[in-house]
Amino acid sequence: MAKKTKFIIGIDVGGTNTKIGLIKGHTIKSKLVLKTKQYFRKKDLLGAIIKETQNLLKKNGLSKNDILGIGIGLPGAIDYKRGIVHYLPNIPGWKDVYLARLMQQRCGIPTYIDNDVNLMALAELHYGHGKGKTNIVCITLGTGVGGGLILEGRLYRGTDFAAGELGHIPVAIEGPSCSCGGKGCLESFIANTRILKRAKQIFGPDITLEKLSSLANRGNSKAIKIWQEVGNFLGAALAGVVNLLNPQVIIIGGGVAGSGEILFNQVKKTIKERAMLIPKKEVRIKKAKVEEPGIIGAGILVRGSLKLK
């Protein structure tokens, strides 16, 4: 009798949305989305994640015995070895939470956690623009600005598993206060809330990022200028990353990355102008290819933790 293939639960916790997916092989079979910001307390969000994970299993006629493991990506400082969320800059109340243990106790399923952009980097390495590459930088643009690094073909987490915080590279000596406690960080200039704040000053309270992109693509000079400013800040920070790490490809994902070619063209232009000759020669700038990379990367995390291919 053939052995039954088991599933994996992949969870992508974001500052705006939390996505829970049922993965079989490397395909998302079923998915649901929670609005993260409607849960004001840590225990409420955690309770909702557990409840909806159980609902997803029930909806698909599965039990915990059909699941290999749960993988969770979160936007902050994560100790992936001990399963601890140290803190999440854009989701208040999460401090030194033993999330992997809590999920495993409540769901009865082995649980593994990591930084969300680390999981995006794994997804792009296996199935996206990073396939066949050994040195990759991933960055996501959304409520926060996060980063993930693949160096010499392996995910690089750093001494305390806190590497890759590209959003917290200081790009100004003095600047806006950042959610991390610093000032003048890249995130404090290009997070979606900051972009919208500038846009509302010009276009009024009804503007959205989608409308801002549409205006820019239709030639509105004020909208174009906003996206070019974002691209210039991002490009300047990435020029430093190019000089430091000499990557083959920089992969940009997240909601803000959907703004279109105006942003990407400005990023490429700024890197070309500001990065050093040798490291900028080969690097390519790409929009993220893998759909739902947080969920897919969570599946890779589980399989890697269980030493499965």
The answer regarding whether domain 7-118+292-305 maps to CATH 3.30.420.40 reads yes
Per the CB < 8 A criterion, the answer to whether 257 and 286 are in contact is: no
DSSP 13: E
Residue 309 CB neighbour total at 10 angstroms = 4
pLDDT in tens, the chain (309 residues): 445 679 999 999 988 899 999 999 889 999 999 999 899 889 999 999 999 999 999 999 999 999 999 999 999 999 999 999 998 988 888 999 999 999 999 999 999 999 999 999 999 999 999 999 999 999 999 888 999 999 999 999 999 999 999 999 999 888 898 888 899 999 999 999 999 999 999 999 999 999 999 999 999 999 999 999 999 999 999 999 999 999 999 999 998 888 889 999 999 999 999 999 999 999 999 999 999 999 999 999 999 998 765
Distance CA 93, CA 50 (A): 18
Q: How many CB atoms lie within 10 A of CB 69?
A: 22
CATH number of 130-287: 3.30.420.40
Name the token pair of 253. Answer: 């994902």
A 10 A CB-CB count for 281 gives 10
Q: Which neighbouring-strand residues pair with 73?
A: 12, 114
Structure tokens at 115: 């930084």
Which residues of the chain form beta strands (DSSP E)? 7-13, 17-24, 27-35, 67-74, 77-79, 84-87, 95-97, 111-115, 136-141, 145-151, 154-156, 249-253, 284-287
Question: Where does residue 206 fall: left (phi above 0), alpha (psi -120 to 50 degrees), or beta otherwise?
Answer: alpha
Could you state, in order of their start, the residue ranges of all structural domains in the chain? 7-118+292-305, 130-287
DSSP labels, 39-50: --SHHHHHHHHH
Domains 7-118+292-305 and 130-287 share a fold: yes
74 close to 88: Cβ distance less than 8 angstroms: yes
8 Å CB contact between 235 and 271: yes
pTM for this predicted structure: 0.92
pLDDT of residue 3: 58
Structure tokens at 121: 């980097």
Q: Which amino acid is at 41?
A: R
Q: Would you call 266 helix, strand, or coil by DSSP?
A: helix
What pLDDT score was predicted for residue 309? Answer: 59
CB-count burial class (<10 Å; 0-12, 13-18, 19+) for 13? buried
